[in-house]
Chain A
Amino acid sequence: MSGSGNTNVLNLTLKVWRQEGPNATGSFDSIPVEGIADDMSFLEMLDIVNEQIIEQGGIPIEFDHDCREGICGACGVMINGNAHGPKKGTTTCQLHMRNFEDGDEIVVEPWRASGFPIMRDLVVDRSPFDHIVESGGYISVNTGAAPDANLIPVPKDASDMAMDAAACIGCGACVAACPNSAAQLFTSAKLSHMNLLPQGQAERWKRTEQMVETMEQFFGACTNHGECTEACPKEISLDNIAFMNRDYLKSKVKNRKLTGQVFP
């Protein structure tokens, strides 16, 4: 909110995907939108459109949103074929209307992938991401009471990469942008986040094997296009995918070795 006097007002045409339910056939609806201030966010613009629709007695456009600060990962739509719109490193809620021109036609679509079935309008079911995390995205070793700060030394490089990977908000833009609908970037970010840190070592190989295999039950196969990183609002690096690929092969060997060391 700059509050400066040079706010432009935009008149736009929205082409929005409307779908009544998971099994209904959807189609695009053209909605003229007038008087949008360019310092509004994309979601605020959708709110105004929904107000209009409600006043006219229609059913508002359903879309996911929560924090509107770009940190929760709830929002996310394809805007003109770009996940989270044209601006790099930005979630839909942080995308401002000043990125569009007066008179633009904006195509708004839900994420598309078999792993993300559409529930209604722009809302998709992202529960496969939950299944991936459920299968290993945690540290369950009992660590007792909270340890003193700096008790466990973490190399700076490892901590940097783990923290960058932990920035993933699980919005699903990577899957949406991927021509193969693969979830490699999400899964690898969750893996790097834990596999690089000392606390994550005990369960590292079980975690890698299980999370990769859960991912593959729902999503496609990576072909290294690199579309996911470009679409990612948190700019998660493709390096995580290479790291996951390396760890997955190791996990197959190490888990087998571990099993052999357990005496019944």
Chain B
Amino acid sequence: MAATSTQRGVTPIRPAPRKTLPWPIQFYRSAVGRKWVMGVTGLMLLGFVVVHMLGNFKAYISPESIDHYGEALRDMGGHLVPRTHLLWAMRLGLIGAFALHIHAALSLTLMSRRSNPQSGIDGQKKYAGSQDYIAANFASRTMRWTGPIIVLYILFHLADLTWGTRSDEFVRGEPYHNMVDSMSSLPVAIIYIVANLAVAIHIFHGTWSAMQSIGINNPRINGIRKPVSMGLAALVLVGNLSFPIMVQAGVLDEETSEESAPALVLSEEVTS
């Protein structure tokens, strides 16, 4: 252990933790704890993204298939719980995960900024020398940019396909019709494509980083952590990009939707 001894002392950038607080709060106030929270909530959100995509694949089976799926989500729990209550419980979990993920990310960024007089974060170079980064890749360096892009995209996506505020053509309870109506507009399709690129880049570093942050580490699995992250990112990228592209290509279109009477019958049941 070698370090320059000095009389001067180095001013801390953060105060010592308060030991009187309950341990989960103490844990969350530490940077390592916040990375844990980011990792766990990140994996929850990743699970949501994958399940959401799998559900959307039902659009390729038939319009009724995805419309039924949407209805099944709202009616989850059958007669055991009031309608949409289970769905709302899951939504609240997701909103909580989002809030914690974003709060942890913001506070950790601020902490890193304080730790660095010539901030190497946000893409600036820390040193005048020519070498920039060795190990950090595009995905890891742009997490602080792809994150906000995803937040904006989610707001747009909710307005577009959940609240239906973007278009007058929106019909509640008919996801197939709404999806085709939305993505058949070229600008909207481009928004979905760009946003899902950001999602995939975020997932690529995020998955690996989450495993590191929550200590999923064992010589037997370390070799597959990067390939698994890349595979998940690729899966989400290909799967989610397929929807706007297939709508634009005309593979998914309104005609198939109109042929299918059951979807309309279903939506009548929903409103009654």
Interface residues, chain A, CB within 8 Å of chain B? 15, 22, 28, 64, 66, 72-74, 78-82, 86, 107, 109, 112-117, 119, 123-130, 133, 137, 169-172, 177-182, 212-213, 216-227, 229-231, 238-239, 241-249, 252-253, 256
Report Cα–Cα, A130/B8, bound state, in Å: 14
Number of interface residues of B (CB under 8 A): 65
State in angstroms the CA–CA spacing of A72 and B1 once bound together: 7
- B187 interfacial by beta-carbon distance below 8 Å: no
Report B10 CB to chain A, min CB distance, Å.
5
Closest 5 CB pairs of A and B: A81-B129, A246-B215, A220-B115, A81-B131, A242-B217
In Å, the complex CA distance between A243 and B121 comes to 25
User: Are A248 and B120 CB-contacts (below 8 A) given A22-B8, A72-B2, A130-B3?
Assistant: no
Q: Which residues of B contact A248 (CB under 8 A)?
A: 30, 32-33
Main secondary structure of the interface of B (DSSP, over half): loop
Listed residue (A22, A86, A227, A244) with the most chain B CB atoms within 10 angstroms of its CB? A227
Q: A113-B117, A181-B115 are in contact. List 9 more A-B contacts (CB 8 A).
A: A22-B8, A107-B128, A125-B10, A179-B120, A179-B136, A180-B112, A221-B108, A227-B134, A252-B24
Asked if B136 and A78 sit within 8 Å, CB to CB, the answer is no
* Chain B 31-65 interface residues, beta-carbon cutoff 8 Å to A: 31-36
Query: If the complex has contacts A224-B208, A225-B135, are A129 and B213 also in contact, measured as CB distance less than 8 A?
Result: no
- B17, closest chain A residue (CB): A213
Distance A73 CA – B4 CA, assembled complex (angstroms): 10
14 chain-A/chain-B pairs, Cβ below 8 angstroms? A114-B116, A124-B4, A126-B4, A129-B3, A130-B1, A180-B115, A180-B120, A181-B116, A216-B17, A224-B140, A225-B135, A241-B212, A245-B212, A249-B33
Instruction: Check A226/B135 contact, CB under 8 A, given A81-B130, A170-B1.
Output: yes
Q: Is B196 an interface residue (CB 8 A)?
A: no
Q: Are B2 and A169 in contact (CB under 8 A)?
A: yes
A227 surroundings in chain B (CB, below 8 A): 133-136
- A109, B127: Cβ atoms closer than 8 Å: yes
Report the separation of the CA atoms of residues A191 and B141 in the bound assembly, to the nearest whole angstrom: 27
Query: Which residues of B are found within 8 Å of A72, using beta-carbon distances?
Result: 2
Q: Say if the beta carbon of B85 comes within 8 Å of chain A.
A: no
Q: Are A125 and B8 in contact (CB under 8 A)?
A: yes
**Which of A66, A115, A127, A245 lies in contact with B32, CB distance below 8 A?**
A245
How distant is the Cα of A29 from the Cα of B245 in the complex, in angstroms? 56
A242 and B215 contact, CB distance less than 8 A: yes
Cβ of B36 and Cβ of A127 under 8 Å apart? no
Provide the residues of chain B in CB contact with A242, threshold 8 Å. 211-213, 215-217
Q: Which residue of A lies closest to B117 (CB)?
A: A114
Query: Bound complex: CA of A119 vs CA of B130, how far in Å?
Result: 24
A198–B113 alpha-carbon span in the complex (Å): 38
Residues of chain B with a CB closer than 8 A to A220's CB: 31, 111-116
Cβ-defined contact, A226 with B116, below 8 A: no
Task: Say yes or no: is B81 at the interface (Cβ < 8 Å to chain A).
Answer: no
Instruction: Decide: B115 and A82 in contact? CB cutoff 8 A.
Output: no
Judge if B5 is at the interface, Cβ distance under 8 Å: yes
A144 to chain B, nearest CB (A): 25
* B143 in contact (CB, < 8 A): yes
Separation of A15 and B33 alpha carbons in the complex (Å): 41
Taking the closest CB of chain B, its distance from the CB of A68, in whole angstroms, is 12
User: Smallest CB-CB separation from B113: which chain A residue?
Assistant: A220
B217 → chain A closest CB, angstroms: 3
1/0 per position for B7-24, CB-CB distance to A under 8 A? 011101111110000011
Hey, which chain B residues are within 8 Å of A238, CB to CB? 212
Whether A243 contacts B217 in the complex (CB less than 8 A), given A126-B4, A224-B208, comes out as yes
Q: How far is the CB of B75 from chain A (nearest CB, A)?
A: 38
Most buried by B among A125, A224, A246, A249: A224
B145 → chain A closest CB, angstroms: 13
Residues of A within 8 A of B185 (CB): none
Chain B residues in 8 Å Cβ range of A124: 4
Contact partner, B35, options A169, A179, A245, A253, Cβ 8 Å: A245
Once the chains bind, are B212 and A171 in contact (CB under 8 Å)? no
Instruction: State which of A129, A219, A223 has its C-beta within 8 Å of the C-beta of B209.
Output: A223
B17: chain A residues within 8 A (beta carbon): 213, 216
The smallest C-beta distance from B72 to any residue of chain A, in angstroms, reads 37
Q: Are A81 and B125 in contact (CB under 8 A)?
A: yes
| List of A residues within 8 angstroms of B14 by Cβ | 216-217
Q: In the assembled complex, which residues on chain A have CB atoms less than 8 Å from the CB atom of B34?
A: 221
Known contacts A212-B32, A246-B214; A112 and B12 CB within 8 A of each other: no
Q: Are A253 and B23 in contact (CB under 8 A)?
A: yes
The reply to whether B212 and A179 form a contact with Cβ atoms under 8 Å apart is no
Contact of B10 among A218, A239, A256 (CB under 8 A): A218
Q: Which listed residue (B1, B213, B216, B222) contacts A224, Cβ 8 A? A: B213
Closest to B211 in A: A242
